[in-house]
Amino acid sequence: MSKITVIGTGYVGLVSGAILSDFGHTVICVDIDENKIEGLKNGIIPIFEPGLERIVKNNYYYKRLDFTTDIRSAIENNDVVFIAVGTPPADDGSADLRHVLVAAKDIATHMNGYKVIVNKSTVPVGAGKKVKAVVQSILAEREADHSFDVVSNPEFLREGSAIQDFMHPDRVILGAESDRAINIMKEVYRVLYINETPFVETNLETAEMIKYASNAFLAMKITFINEVANVCEKVGADVQKVAKAMGLDGRIAPKFLHAGPGFGGSCFPKDTRALARIARDCGETMSLVETTVEANERQKMKMVQKILDAMNELADKAIAILGVTFKPNTDDLRDAPSLVILPELAKRGAKLKVYDPAGRKEGDWRFSHIMDSITWCENAYEALEGTDATIILTEWNEFRNLNFEKFKEIGAGEYFFDLRNIYDKKTMLDKGFKYYGVGV
């Protein structure tokens, strides 16, 4: 059993801390936000992640998991310290390391013996070495000669399925400079190690690069199929079939080949820009990644154009918007295609009746500038009532089986923009809808 501290109770920190305690370790999660810590002690989970609440409450009850604002005792009492703070994008697209380096300083200030410092935040290549340098300089100021190791252990959690992703990862990446640190980390992930999860042991820079290269590749894969979809529409091909057949080739694999309105979220948009920046900074170009960023922006506008081409005029048209989050099973709207598409429709005079199972809270402030054009609804059918068109923007399960009999009854219109391709085109056309998917 390891004694673990996790600095930062955001998405990555909280999920990692909770599951590591579920693996049997003693974990303390630290945050500067007192309200958040108080809430967590009372079972209030600040993020939307299916299954997380049960794990947090259970492990807190059995005293394997605790929460504190007292960074000093959290560092002094534990040997493995995860840094899981945010790395928001700076103005130039690079990841802002400020919070990571503050955490490194805090660790060095309170270090009282050997510690393994684990970087879980997504950080630019070279950040592990920066953390090491900060810790060394503070230890030198303190005239303390404690030894420590820095480990890069990037996460591959998807929002909405983070628990499953943490408990059954495709691989665990451990970038480190000493065997001692690697062995301690193997103990931390013992449950996975004995389950034969592949472990990749490497140096800090390689581990950091693996994370960026993986996310950029997936973003590129989505963008590739989105561009194929756009061509399919013009030449009469069906992207769903194209993607399925491509995915049957083991070298390509079927996942992340769903055409849609463009990728969003807190990771792909940020990480693609950051990787392009890393490349430029060292005199290289990642032209595929640069193009992916641009093409993804274009894809969102193409969706607007698709709607305009079909409906001609949007002034005073009522449109039901089903889903605003960047994907299902999250309340997160960061970089969601809806943030571009809704204002564009509003600008052209459309009245938007919006329903999302979890996105209302964040949507309220994100769409505050177009509030006059938006009516929030309590369910899909309320949103559909008296509208000219339906737009499916996020593929929540509850939108997959809409009761089309009801459409006439409540006066929902015939235009149906299925931007996630969750319905079959022919069936929808047979039902009398003017159906538009992406690439079908």
Q: Which of 222, 354, 377, 428 binds ligand UGA (CB under 6 A)?
A: 222
Of 438, 240, 418, 304, the C-alpha closest to 428 is 418
**b/e string for 357-392 if b means 16 or more Cβ within 10 A?**
bbbbebbeebbeeeeebbebbeebbebbbebbbbbb
Cβ 154 to ligand UGA shortest distance, Å:
8
Contact region for ligand UGA (CB under 6 A) — 44-52, 96-104, 152-160, 378-386? 152-160
Residue 223 touching ligand UGA (CB under 6 A): no
Q: Pick between residue 117 and residue 257 the one whose CB is nearest to ligand UGA.
A: 257
For ligand UGA, the closer CB: 175 or 265: 265
Q: How far is the CB of 44 from ligand UGA (least distance, A)?
A: 22
Does position 258 interact with ligand UGA (CB under 6 A)? The reply is: yes
| Nearest residue (CB) to ligand UGA, 111 versus 243 | 243
267 is catalytic: yes
How far apart CA 363 and CA 356 sit, in angstroms, is 9
Q: How far is the CB of 225 from ligand UGA (least distance, A)?
A: 7
- What is the C-alpha separation between 381 and 221, in angstroms, rounded? 34
Residue among 257, 295, 320, 393 that touches ligand UGA (CB under 6 A): 257
Which of residues 66, 159, 356, 418 is near ligand UGA by CB under 6 A? 159
Q: Which of 171, 120, 177, 172 has its CA nearest to residue 147?
A: 177
> Using the rule CB under 6 A, is 323 a contact of ligand UGA?
no
> Which member of 215, 240, 338, 390 binds ligand UGA (CB under 6 A)?
215
Q: Looking up tokens 């809808």, which residue turns up?
A: 433
- Interacting residues of 422 by C-beta distance below 8 A, sequence separation 6+: 392, 395, 399, 400
Phi/psi at 28 (5° precision): -120, 130
- From residue 354 to residue 393, the character string flagging contacts with ligand UGA as x (rule: CB under 6 A) and all else as - is ----------------------------------------
- Could you say which of 52, 75, 157, 184 contacts ligand UGA (CB under 6 A)? 157
For residue 404, give Cα distances in angstroms to 169, 327, 425.
39, 23, 14
- The residue among 58 and 291 lying less far from ligand UGA, judged by its C-beta, is 291
- The H or E element that residue 296 is part of is helix 287-311
Q: Angle between the 127-142 and 204-235 helix axes, to the nearest 10 degrees?
A: 150
Half-sphere exposure in the Cβ direction for 292 (13 Å, CA): 27
> Which is nearer to ligand UGA, 171 or 369 (by Cβ)?
171
Residue 269 CB-density burial (10 A; 0-12 exposed, 13-18 middle, 19+ buried): buried
263 binds ligand UGA (CB under 6 A): yes
Among 36, 273, 327, 366, interactor with ligand UGA by CB under 6 A: 327
Q: Which stretch binds ligand UGA (CB under 6 A): 75-83, 141-149, 157-165, 228-236?
A: 157-165
Question: What is the SS3 assignment for 175?
Answer: strand
Instruction: Pick the piece of the chain touching ligand UGA (CB under 6 A) from 132-140, 187-195, 262-270, 346-354.
Output: 262-270
- Residue of 418, 395, 320 lying closest to 160 (CA atoms): 395
The helix (H) or strand (E) run that includes residue 362 is helix 360-366
- From 31-39, 133-141, 254-262, 338-346, span contacting ligand UGA (CB under 6 A): 254-262
Stretch that binds ligand UGA, among 50-58, 177-185, 256-264, 314-322 (CB under 6 A): 256-264
Q: Catalytic residue, from 29, 232, 267, 377: name it.
A: 267
As annotated, the active-site residues are 267
Kindly list the residues in this chain that would bind ligand UGA in the complex (CB under 6 A): 122, 155-159, 215, 218, 222, 256-258, 260, 263-265, 267-268, 326-327
